[in-house]
A and B are shown apart, each in its own frame.
Chain A
């Protein structure tokens, strides 16, 4: 018996759109129109050294906002493509994984802002007579701030696909392509989406820096909120700063409501089981979309498209029923030898290039000096993590124990995480100058501004994951006050806290590049540290020294990650994980 509604979807008689169609159409058209308007002037002729003037008139802000949004969307798209290809390669091939995984680990510790001045030159050379050069550099910077955790998340998902599914895919002869789209991508979607949201916040932090790139004593500006802010900072226009903050708030809100919330709601389909107590994400836009008739009819178009995409006729070859031989192991062995030789050769080449590049310019003394600067910044990062923990751990626990409070605080914290440090420059400079404060100490908060929220997020998550039963048991025995913290709360949130603190520390290193040199209204205050070293030589366009600074910072982050954070994490996993 075939049911009517399970025949291929066909269009019913009533094709008249309903009111929801109209609403959605308006929203979609508005988005598209504004994006097109922004994209039009991206490909204008450009000469290195030409200054694109930025107007602080708030009427230009919507246009700038759209430009910035386009850059972020493009960066996000590139990140997705990178994730889907490179992570898949790493997950499928052990040989590739040997290179890709450490590379990702190193790349995510590289200070993006320091790298910017190098990449911009490369991109300008690539597109000599067009603004595409600096545009690509900016997009590349945003991309590098977003992509690594997405790539890791996807890789981990691919590696943890339940064995039974893999067996089912093999038994029913799914092709690798079908397996990818039917099993692997859907399985990885929830984790990838969550990481994309975190990445978006990070992206905002860097978009401000990447739209106004100063290299070789020239400032390249691209129209966008970021350059608007940097001009406002340079001219000391606090009103314009206010407008910029408001515009950013609006854009982030729209992003959240129109893009991420519907996606989160949609991604719930991909979770195997809804856990108890887990509430579904409310999204008015998603509900609106599903109410439209257009959306329903769209399935007539997109279902065959998806069908064609996943099961392309040309690639769905009919395999011979029996395969009698396996690929020869000899060939595989030769492949492995070739691969290893190639890796070793490229390593040697890389070492030679680095040596030529840096050693020719830099003395041993300077290298030690940079290491010392790194130590200063490192101490600052650690002090900040301790201070931030003292504030956010108790607050996070407080919020986490009250589900209602958590629902309100989560989006606020997410917005604050996207808040670029530059926006606080005026406040910091004014305070330091007025009260003659120590620059080294009082610029420190800027470093942790964007990343402290990771500690808060994770503590909230850890606290809410604590079973109600344990609270009741502890109450029953009359355990309270410090004893309760020592025996229940701190051990329970420890694994979550370590994750949060590790992320926060990594971000703080990166932020030192914008936090150790502070400008406002033509004044420039500098603190001591590796971040300042990188910033100052970026301004001068001294590439060997930028490279040295970046390398040293990268090494510090890597060493700390491996020696301190991962060790703590292992302890946390072994000892304090609730089963």
Chain B
């Protein structure tokens, strides 16, 4: 591995401004360096800004702060030398496989016969020989992504960036395609010097990368960078592999716990500050049935009241970005407790899992009112009103003083969803009114 730096990211931050003057930080203080010969996997749960990070590297999005350098030149627009593979392939349905692959060469102004020759070689390389004249809609998902790879490789990029390239494929297809890509990469049959791949699959990251960068969320930043020195081929069943998976889970849960603790501390600190009430904090976007479903499943995986997260995720086929919001919600509601790489199911959690419908609702309502300030706040306001009716607009306005419009709407939607289940209050979709009465 040479030590030449291909890409360098300095103090990059990205935030969005809302019309209300709120700022949402997606990325903060990101420093990163990519050397020639490296295969870096970027891990993080959804909302950690990892896709934004990738797009900033590729020159598709401009950072609000900081600079990306590609071979010492600042990146302000897509640069030649970086090609991208998309999650949903981004193939043009009216172009044949061959024409899709030729697209990037056409943009370079290459003449048609040379273009064709190069495109055919690329198609050959990804194993799509014989499908040159097919249209994307005739192909299966895996084959479509092969076209995506061919289109990226044909421009002979020095850096290949991939945005969850296998997540739209089923497990077997993904594995097959991944192996083929690794073969091309390791046998150096492609000119690509470095690869950067965003993923939410821990195993996938370990299978491919020399280095794994783990993002934490709100705002997204690089939490840990981890070198993976296992020899290829890497075997998921092996002991070393397992312990690495466990280690990453621990890092990711710790990062979550740190963040939760931070949020809580911030909430506590600002309780005295009238400007920022404790209810204006985001909640994980999960449904009640998912929560109870997870609690039920946990009962089968109990080991002295603790659950091994990797095992559970594996069993339920949940990727990290689906699992973590759930465990986070359970933690907030005090049905479970997150600690290093593990989740501890609390008594109330067990009770909820084993209760019947009414008992569940009752218990959920109790925890919701006790531990989620926003639910308590709304209930109190409704109790105080003589007719016990308030339009959602009022709460949205309250929240928008502290959160962006999108955040506020999302937060209110989650709390309405949970509270309707718990029968803490009712909601009428047509009028947008929250009330204490039963629907007519």
| B93 and A270 contacting across the interface, CB-CB below 8 Å | yes
Is B120 in contact with chain A by the CB < 8 A criterion? Answer: yes
A504 CA to B58 CA, complexed, in Å: 49
Could you list some 5 contacts between A and B, CB below 8 A? Answer: A173-B108, A270-B94, A271-B93, A316-B107, A324-B74
Q: Which residues of A are in contact with B by a Cβ distance under 8 Å?
A: 1-3, 6-8, 162, 164-165, 167-168, 170-175, 178, 182-183, 186, 269-274, 304, 307, 310-311, 313, 316-319, 321-326, 575
Q: Find residues 111-163 in chain B having any chain A CB closer than 8 Å to their own CB.
A: 112-113, 116-117, 120, 124, 129, 132-133, 135, 137, 151, 155
Chain B CB within 10 Å — which of A168, A170, A173, A317 has the most?
A168
Contact of B92 among A165, A271, A325 (CB under 8 A): A165
Residues of B within 8 A of A325 (CB): 76
| A174 and B86 contacting across the interface, CB-CB below 8 Å | no
A316-B109 in contact given A164-B88, A172-B103, A272-B93 (Cβ < 8 Å): yes
Residues of A within 8 A of B103 (CB): 168, 172, 174, 182
Residues of A within 8 A of B79 (CB): 321-322
| B137 and A273 contacting across the interface, CB-CB below 8 Å | yes
A307 CA to B109 CA, complexed, in Å: 11
Is B347 in contact with chain A by the CB < 8 A criterion? Answer: no
Chain B CB within 10 Å — which of A172, A186, A307, A322 has the most?
A172
A163 (CB) vs chain B CBs: closest residue: B90
| B78 and A170 contacting across the interface, CB-CB below 8 Å | yes
A164-B86 in contact given A171-B78, A178-B106 (Cβ < 8 Å): yes
A165-B94 in contact given A273-B137, A321-B79, A323-B77 (Cβ < 8 Å): no
Binding site of B, secondary structure by majority: helix, strand, loop or mixed? loop
Shortest distance from the beta carbon of A320 to any chain B beta carbon, whole Å? 9
| A172 and B104 contacting across the interface, CB-CB below 8 Å | yes
Residues of B within 8 A of A186 (CB): 92, 94
Contact of B94 among A170, A269, A273 (CB under 8 A): A269
Shortest distance from the beta carbon of B107 to any chain A beta carbon, whole Å? 5
Residues of A within 8 A of B129 (CB): 1
B55 (CB) vs chain A CBs: closest residue: A167
A307 CA to B106 CA, complexed, in Å: 9
Shortest distance from the beta carbon of A291 to any chain B beta carbon, whole Å? 18
A320 (CB) vs chain B CBs: closest residue: B80
Chain B CB within 10 Å — which of A164, A175, A325 has the most?
A164
A315 (CB) vs chain B CBs: closest residue: B109
| B74 and A171 contacting across the interface, CB-CB below 8 Å | no
A171 CA to B58 CA, complexed, in Å: 7
Q: Which residues of B are in contact with A by a Cβ distance under 8 Å?
A: 55, 58-60, 70, 73-74, 76-84, 86-90, 92-95, 98, 103-104, 106-109, 112-113, 116-117, 120, 124, 129, 132-133, 135, 137, 151, 155, 430
Shortest distance from the beta carbon of A189 to any chain B beta carbon, whole Å? 8
Residues of B within 8 A of A8 (CB): 112-113, 116
Residues of A within 8 A of B73 (CB): 321-322, 324
Shortest distance from the beta carbon of B18 to any chain A beta carbon, whole Å? 19
Residues of A within 8 A of B104 (CB): 172-173
Contact of B86 among A167, A173, A269, A323 (CB under 8 A): A167
A183 CA to B94 CA, complexed, in Å: 9
Residues of B within 8 A of A317 (CB): 109
Chain B CB within 10 Å — which of A2, A171, A173 has the most?
A171
Contact of A6 among B92, B93, B132 (CB under 8 A): B132
A318 CA to B86 CA, complexed, in Å: 25
| A273 and B88 contacting across the interface, CB-CB below 8 Å | no
| A173 and B80 contacting across the interface, CB-CB below 8 Å | yes
A186 CA to B99 CA, complexed, in Å: 14
Contact of A174 among B88, B90, B98, B107 (CB under 8 A): B107
A171-B84 in contact given A6-B98, A182-B95, A322-B79 (Cβ < 8 Å): yes
Residues of A within 8 A of B116 (CB): 6-8
A164 CA to B85 CA, complexed, in Å: 10
Chain A CB within 10 Å — which of B55, B77, B81, B133 has the most?
B77
A271 CA to B94 CA, complexed, in Å: 8
Contact of A311 among B76, B77, B106, B151 (CB under 8 A): B106
A258 CA to B265 CA, complexed, in Å: 73
Shortest distance from the beta carbon of A269 to any chain B beta carbon, whole Å? 5
Residues of A within 8 A of B59 (CB): 170
Shortest distance from the beta carbon of A340 to any chain B beta carbon, whole Å? 20
A182-B92 in contact given A8-B116, A170-B60, A171-B83 (Cβ < 8 Å): yes
Residues of B within 8 A of A173 (CB): 78, 80, 104, 107-108
Contact of B137 among A175, A272, A316, A321 (CB under 8 A): A272
A270 (CB) vs chain B CBs: closest residue: B94
